[in-house]
Structure 1
């Protein structure tokens, strides 16, 4: 789950597993897999970082995939 804010400043929690797309029109619009859309205050990059942190917290995305493996040859 990620916490984002509507344009009026009211915060809400969104299940990141159902996010299909995040776009800027110029406002950031999050589209879920069921077609429902939310316009939020946060930038596209901020929403992406929130999603990545959520995925890491539930072990859906490994730390190495995001940061890269420094020991690669």
Structure 2
């Protein structure tokens, strides 16, 4: 989950796994895979950083030793 803030100042959490698109037009709009849209105060870059941090916290990117070209022993 990532924490975001509505334009009225109220904060809430969104499940980052369901985020399909983040765009700035000029307000930052988050579109979920179910089609729901949320307009938030955070910039597009802040949202992307939050998503990246969340993915790292749940090991979404995999273990570093399996991604860096290390050979696994059989």
TM-score range, shorter chain: 0.7 to 0.9
Relative to structure 1, the CA distance from residue 36 to residue 60 in structure 2 (aligned partners, 3 Å threshold; closer, same or farther) is same
Note the residue ranges of structure 2 that are not aligned, 5 or more in a row.
69-74
For 1:8, what is the secondary structure of its paired residue? coil
In the TM superposition, structure 1's runs of 4+ consecutive aligned residues that sit over 6 Å from their partners are none
Relative to structure 1, the CA distance from residue 13 to residue 63 in structure 2 (aligned partners, 3 Å threshold; closer, same or farther) is same
Q: In the aligned structure 1, how far is the partner of 2:62 from the partner of 2:49?
A: 14
How do 1:53-72 and structure 2 match up within 5 A? Answer: 53-62=53-62
| TM-score calculated relative to the size of structure 1 | 0.84
Q: In the aligned structure 2, how far is the partner of 1:13 from the partner of 1:30?
A: 12
How do 1:23-42 and structure 2 match up within 5 A? Answer: 23-42=23-42
Larger of the two Rg values belongs to structure: 2
| TM-score calculated relative to the size of structure 2 | 0.83
Q: Does 1:7 align with 2:26?
A: no
Paired residues, number: 65
Relative to structure 1, the CA distance from residue 63 to residue 44 in structure 2 (aligned partners, 3 Å threshold; closer, same or farther) is farther
